[in-house]
Amino acid sequence: MNKISANGVYDIPMEVYHSDCCDGPSISASGLWKLLSACPALYWEDSYLNPQRVTHDATRALDVGKAAHALVLGEPEFARHFAVLPFDILRTKEAQAWKAMTEEAGKTVVRADDFDTVRAMAAAMTRSPQVSRAFRDGKPEKSLIWRDGETGVWLKSRPDWLPDDPSASWVIDYKTCRTLEPRKFSQAAFEYGYHLQAAMQVDAAWSVLGARCGVAHVAQEKESPYLAELRLFKEEQIDFGRREYRRALRLFKNCWTLHKEGIQGRLAWPGYTGQAQYIETPYYIERKMEDPLYGEDHGTRDAADYVAAG
């Protein structure tokens, strides 16, 4: 396909979205979050920009999560990307040939028992009063791509559900999770960078469509009864996500500029720190270090005592 050179909404496959699809360097929320939460070296290791990148095989759990995501968006979306294994075992020649042909066609194979789980998750969504209407009057898997005015880098956002009128409805992202308990899910949302992704989706709608939108997360537990609820970010949390992705974007721009100037390896894509660092003292060790009697008590106090004493 021709390289993207204009802001717009594009109907492109996921593998194209994550590839060299623009007429300049491009990056999505997942890449920006890896730069920020890990380091440039780890981002570069599996970046599409890296000709020596390392690819990793997907895990079964990840495939099940992606399959649930696709089926929630509709059966046609599931059929585009997945196929259910029609064999009890994969050891026969017939089964191996079918799997090879299916994967060559670009589809992920899902075991029958995993598909039962995926169907149960999709059915549970329809029973949730909060989310049963979420995926209506819109389209799945549309890519919003625009050139950032400050850095010149192409930005990519791919919400799970783009409403026909983003200014009048929520942009929807679907997330599977271990628990929907409010405190624990809130912690996970910031740990996985959902706030950064949501900020980019808000800015994508404005930059590409001229629409001011909100973002809603349809979150669903991965174990029966597969509870599903809506989770929303406050305006100040979106603003913080925007500051985070702008910071990561400038870091990406700086690293890429050094790389294009011929500076290779860790000089262009550094690790966690640029210089030697002192080892940070864990809290319970610090309590021991501050205890003048430590070493005189014949080892009767343990780490838990120091944490409790704090």
pLDDT one-digit tens code per residue, 118-150: 889 988 988 888 888 888 889 988 999 999 999
Collapsing DSSP states into helix, strand and coil, what is residue 296?
coil
* Banded model confidence at residue 298, pLDDT cuts 50, 70, 90: low
Model-level pTM? 0.84
> CA 94, 98, 101, 105: dihedral to nearest 10 degrees?
180
* Banded model confidence at residue 173, pLDDT cuts 50, 70, 90: very high
Amino acid at residue number 239 = D
CATH of domain 8-260: 3.90.320.10
Collapsing DSSP states into helix, strand and coil, what is residue 186?
helix
Specify the range with the lowest mean pLDDT, choosing from 74-83, 234-243, 247-256: 74-83
**How much is the pLDDT for 219?**
94
Peptide bond into 225 cis (omega under 30): yes
Residue boundaries of the structural domains of the chain: 8-260, 278-310
Task: Specify the higher pLDDT residue, 78 or 297.
Answer: 78
